[in-house]
Chains A and B, each alone.
Chain A
Amino acid sequence: MSPEGGKDNPTLRWYGDFQIAEGFTRVWAVGPMRLRVHHGHNEWRLLREQDPDPWLERFELDYSDDPALVPDGDKLQRVVLATPEARVHLELRTADRSVVSRPVSPLSVPGHESVRVYVSTPVWVRVTLGEQHHLMLEQPSYRLSDTWFGPNNMEGEICYATRSRFRLALSEQVRSPSRIITPVQIRNQADDPLVLDRLNVPMPWLPLYGDADAHLWTPEVSLVRREDGDLAELRFKDQPPRECGGATRLSSARHSGRQHTVFRAFTDLLRS
């Protein structure tokens, strides 16, 4: 059964509004995530499971009253609701912390050159219920490892860590319906090369867009290293990237206040 949220590409559009009748279970197996939502008598049962392979290509949607699908186990979440509700909303969001992306092999940008790379991060799924949008669950499609990003072990912030190949062409980038692509424009205005050994993408400050093919995007992030040395600036605008055709805004940024702003990135965002 195809989800109701699909308009342009019902095969890949797995988010939106869904009806789940009492006694039925809906299953989303998208990438490494398998999410099961069961509507029981006055209660909802939710279970998110994760495959260890972050790049697992899987897309299976199911809707059935098969008792074998009813979630159970230690990680089960139960939501008790006295009023009858049958409509759940699957909203997609960006990560709740910044994501530090490390290249599989170090990337060097020579002086006075610029390059555009793509960084991929897992999407966060938020399940809400009914008209009131009661929050039932918010989980990533793949739980990334924690990492520390800062000039030393005392100052900095906890981020998520991911490995990236920093692909230059979109065609080479692995496309998954459970991952968000962020284009990063890097410009090195200094004379010496800029070696990128990690890149901090401020995901909570970025809104989420979906294109006509149900691919997920954030605005383009621009990174400029000035002539005078080590400090780098990172900026972004609240608009979909040029690759995102027929974009619809799926969710706004988690945090506001940093859009359209320029800020130093050496300790906060980029360490090169």
Chain B
Amino acid sequence: MDTWFSTIAQFFTAGPGGNLIQAALILVGGFLIGRILANLVGRVPATHLDRHMGLLLRRVIFYGILLLAFTSALHQMGFKLGVLLGAAGIISVAIGFASQTSASNLISGLFLVWERPFSVGDTIRVGTTVGEVVSIDLLSVKLRTFDNLFVRLPNETLIKTEMTNLSRFPIRRLDLQIGVAYKEDIKRVRKVLDEVATANPLCLEEPKPQFLFLGFGDSALNLQFNVWAQRENFLEMRNSLQIEIKEAFDREGIEIPFPHRTLYAGSVTDPFPVQVVDRAGGDRDNP
């Protein structure tokens, strides 16, 4: 019995079992320390560390400590790290050829982090997708669209294609396309538009609203009215301003025309003859 016990004790203290246990302890300890330190970084208030940097720092700390613990554990178990790294080099070349897309995404991710065209929480547009950046990971960027869908964009795509950050600057311009009837006085229309913009508190006074006469359209005089708003108020301003413009036009009798055609009967002065027929009545003009 004693012999059996001493053999087990020797296995766990001086033998290979001891190294295994110590390596496991190092791994578990590294994992726990990594989690604790990453969580501590997560508690830093947003005033000191923005969400993007916080996320990045948490990941670097966690995976950095885990890597250290892993190599220490291997060392503890008697592996020679130099040989392992050499083998890893050969393996990585093989894996690199096999997984070009992943490697490309990985490198693109590093460029994205370095260039920082957007941060977590920003609203971006890539192609036809518009959404809020939820996370920036090694291989992809995750978005939450406004209809609450989860979109994963490979980092390579973001590096290659045009991306618009809608949250970069504090103010945004709204370009309103407006058509008014040919009979309207443009100066009066401009005055009404200016008054509506002035009365809307969300519409910035500076930069000034801009009035553009785009040209003579098929059915309307085409105008453009550019107004600025604070980024956070952009949607609210877009709604309220257009409703107010419609109300003001109705109040002032300014017509927003629908597409129409004018027919001439060979001469501009001769009107079309119009005959009103009572279809429901008894006197039908039957052939």
A residues contacting B by CB (< 8 A) are: 52, 100, 102, 143-149, 153-154, 156, 158, 161, 198
Q: Is the CB of B233 within 8 A of A148?
A: no
Q: How far does the alpha carbon of A145 sit from the alpha carbon of B227 in the complex, in Å?
A: 13
B8-45 to A contact mask, C-beta < 8 Å, 1/0: 00000000000000000000000000000000000000
For A143, list chain B residues within 8 Å (CB): 201
Pair A146/B207 contact, Cβ less than 8 Å: no
Q: Compute how far the CA of A145 lies from the CA of B198 in the bound complex, rounded to whole angstroms.
A: 8
A148 engages B204 (CB within 8 Å):
yes
A146 touches B233 (CB 8 A): yes
B258 part of interface (Cβ distance < 8 Å):
no
Instruction: Report the minimal beta-carbon distance from A140 to chain B, rounded to whole angstroms.
Output: 10
Convert B118-148 into 0s and 1s, putting 1 for each residue whose CB lies closer than 8 angstroms to a CB of A.
0000000000000000000000000000000
Tell me if A146 and B199 are in contact (CB < 8 A).
Answer: no
A100/B206 in contact, CB under 8 A:
yes
Q: Are B205 and A146 in contact (CB under 8 A)?
A: yes
A100-B206, A153-B207 known; 10 new pairs, CB 8 Å cut-off, are A145-B200, A145-B205, A146-B203, A146-B204, A146-B205, A148-B171, A149-B206, A158-B170, A161-B205, A161-B206
A-B pairs under 8 A by CB, number: 42
Contacts of B204 in A (CB 8 A): 145-148, 161
User: Are B230 and A158 in touch, CB under 8 angstroms?
Assistant: yes
The residue on B at minimum CB distance from A198 is B206
Question: CB-CB contacts of B183-217 with A at 8 A, as 1s and 0s?
Answer: 00000000000000011111111110000000000
* Alpha-carbon distance A272/B229, docked complex (angstroms): 23
Alpha-carbon gap, A47 to B233, bound state (A): 22
Q: How far is the CB of A7 from chain B (nearest CB, A)?
A: 35
Residue pair A148, B201 in contact (C-beta under 8 Å): no
Q: Is the CB of B228 closer than 8 A to any CB of chain A?
A: yes
Residue pair A52, B233 in contact (C-beta under 8 Å): no
Residue of chain A at shortest CB distance from B232: A158
B169 part of interface (Cβ distance < 8 Å): yes
Chain B residue contacts of A153, Cβ below 8 A: 169, 171, 207
Roughly how many angstroms separate A153 CA and B205 CA in the complex, as a whole number? 13
Residues of A within 8 A of B203 (CB): 145-146
Q: Which 7 A-B pairs have the closest CB atoms?
A: A161-B205, A147-B205, A147-B206, A145-B201, A143-B201, A146-B204, A145-B205
- CB neighbours of B230 from chain A (8 A): 146, 158
Q: Are B202 and A146 in contact (CB under 8 A)?
A: yes
21 A-B residue pairs with Cβ-Cβ distance under 8 Å, sorted by A, are A102-B205, A145-B198, A145-B200, A145-B204, A146-B201, A146-B203, A146-B204, A146-B229, A146-B230, A146-B233, A148-B170, A148-B171, A148-B206, A153-B169, A154-B169, A156-B170, A158-B230, A161-B204, A161-B205, A161-B206, A198-B206
Instruction: Please give the distance in Å from B38's CB to the nearest CB on chain A.
Output: 34
Nearest chain A CB to B198 CB, angstrom units: 7
Q: How far is the CA of A145 from the CA of B205 in the complex (A)?
A: 7
Minimum distance in angstroms from B106 CB to a CB of chain A: 32
- Shortest Cβ gap from A198 to chain B (Å): 8
Q: For residue B206, which residues in chain A have a CB less than 8 angstroms away from its CB?
A: 100, 147-149, 161, 198
B275 to chain A, nearest CB (A): 51
Q: Chain A residues near B205: list those with CB within 8 A.
A: 100, 102, 145-147, 161
The chain A residue sitting closest to B206, CB to CB, is A147
Residues of B within 8 A of A161 (CB): 204-206
User: A147 to chain B: closest CB distance in Å?
Assistant: 4
The residues of B that contact A148 with a CB separation of less than 8 Å are 170-171, 204, 206-207, 228
Q: Closest Cβ of chain A: how far from B117's Cβ, in Å?
A: 15
In the complex, what distance in Å separates the CA atom of A147 from the CA atom of B170?
A: 12
Residues of chain B within 8 A (CB-CB) of A144 are: 201
Residue of A nearest to B197 (CB): A145
Residues of B within 8 Å of A156, CB to CB, are: 170
Most B Cβ at <10 Å: residue of A102, A144, A161, A198: A161
